Amino acid sequence: MLDTGEPGIAARLDPAAFAAALDGYISPVLAHPPDLSPGADRVVRELAARGVSLGIVSNTGRTPGVTLRQVLERHGLLRYFGTIAYSDEIGARKPEAEIFRVTLAKAGMDPAHALHIGDNPDADVVGARGVGTRAASTPPASARRPRMPT
């Protein structure tokens, strides 16, 4: 991100300045964390209580996986996910097969016995099915939120 404003600046920063810039870029979500979808915490806990192995396969944008883990921890949900694969850590993004393959391998899961649920039909459904995993799509978050009257 820094290099988009001034090419090569990231390489010229001393380690302390780079760390401060990185923190300033990735930490705002910790000050203003996203709300959970209604009932999401209950569903995660109930599935885990039933012995369902849960994992995360997620594309990251501005917020890297290391920070998203902190958000999950603050919501009390991190411990329920045995395998977590964020695109910035894996080096592949959904719908690329690699992010699904790596996640399934880490979980020791046969693709035929897994179900991937996501909110993007192209990235989630097409990507998961491409590696032999069942897939389902939920409505995008914008469609689930109540709209204010205009």
pLDDT for 3-28, tens place per residue? Answer: 788 888 888 999 999 889 888 888 88
pLDDT tens-digit readout, 75-132: 999 999 999 999 999 999 999 999 999 999 999 999 999 999 999 999 999 999 999 9
Q: What's the whole-model pTM score?
A: 0.82
Torsion sign over Cα 122, 127, 132, 133: negative
Is 6 inside any structural domain? no
Which element (helix H / strand E) includes 44? helix 40-49
Is 29 inside any structural domain? no
Amino acid, single-letter form, for residue 127: G
- Maximum CA extent, the chain: 52
- Tally of CA atoms within 13 A in the half-sphere of 140 that contains its CB: 6
Structural domains of the chain, count: 1
Q: Which domain holds residue 95?
A: 40-140
Is 63 inside any structural domain? yes
Is 9 inside any structural domain? no
Torsion sign over Cα 55, 107, 49, 81: negative
